[in-house]
Amino acid sequence: MKSPRSKPPAGAPVLAPAKPRPGFPASLASFSPGALTGLAGSPSRPKVAAVAQLSRPVGLGLDSSAVRQAMLTRLAAQGLEHAAVLGALGAVERHRFVDSALVNQAYEDTSLPIGLGQTISKPSVVARMLALLLEGREAPLGRVLEIGTGCGYQAALLGLLAREVYSIERLQALHERARTNLLGLRLHHLHLILGDGMLGYPRGAQYDGIIAAAAGDAIPDAWIDQLAPGGRLVAPMGSGRQSLVVIDKTESACVRTVLESVHFVPLKSGIA
């Protein structure tokens, strides 16, 4: 196992090295992005069950397989039918990403605090946004940018749904926490970046997908610029009442679709 990288100076951006860029050592059992090929579209429930069995990770002091399966059953009953998303949710142990005192709530459909005024989103919200990102598109996606790494849970899921993932976090303490949380996963194509998410990450552009975990008054122009033609952006938007927004970019225009109300932490600039 490789040693973690040394801590950067305060306020300094952490740039990904030349490819390949393993951000940390890593295993998610036998589950890999390639295993998701052909699972997008309108999967059947039997296929969902088969995908969920691709990985049976062992919990850290918690046998979570039964409660994770119950979570998948609830999500499927609520209408989530995307096999690749359900498979990823079944493979990644959410309790690894929350404080030990909250482990027993890890698989409930609730957001949980992760420190610094931030939260890990409800499984149903994460599932909804990931399903929107992949809707009508073949899995795994190509290159994806995540705005707001947080504790690293959604980044791990994206690591199973895309061939290359860049995840940027502005809060250094959370960036380091995510690195620690992800140390046991073999996701060499997942790159964690300390930086200002409002600026996106030009070095990795252009992206087939962009997904954000914080809501601003508007979608930053930098995100649209870094989205590839044919790419899709999924993000909350609004400072008071927030809505989930999907933007599909073509060669000549961007098509915006405003969906249901949501509640996310505010999008902020700078590094702290």
Greatest pairwise CA separation for the chain in angstroms: 52
Cβ burial 254-263 (10 Å sphere, 16+ → b, else e): eeeeeeeebe
Active site includes 27?
A: no
153 in Cβ contact with 97 (< 8 Å): yes
Distance CA 1, CA 55 (A): 22
Helices first, then strands: H and E counts in the chain: 7, 9
Active-site residue identified among 55, 64, 121, 167: 121
Give the DSSP letter of residue 102.
Answer: G
Q: Which of 122, 125, 167 is nearest to 145 (CA)?
A: 167
151 in Cβ contact with 98 (< 8 Å): yes
CA 59, chain centre distance (Å): 20
Q: What positions carry a catalytic annotation?
A: 121
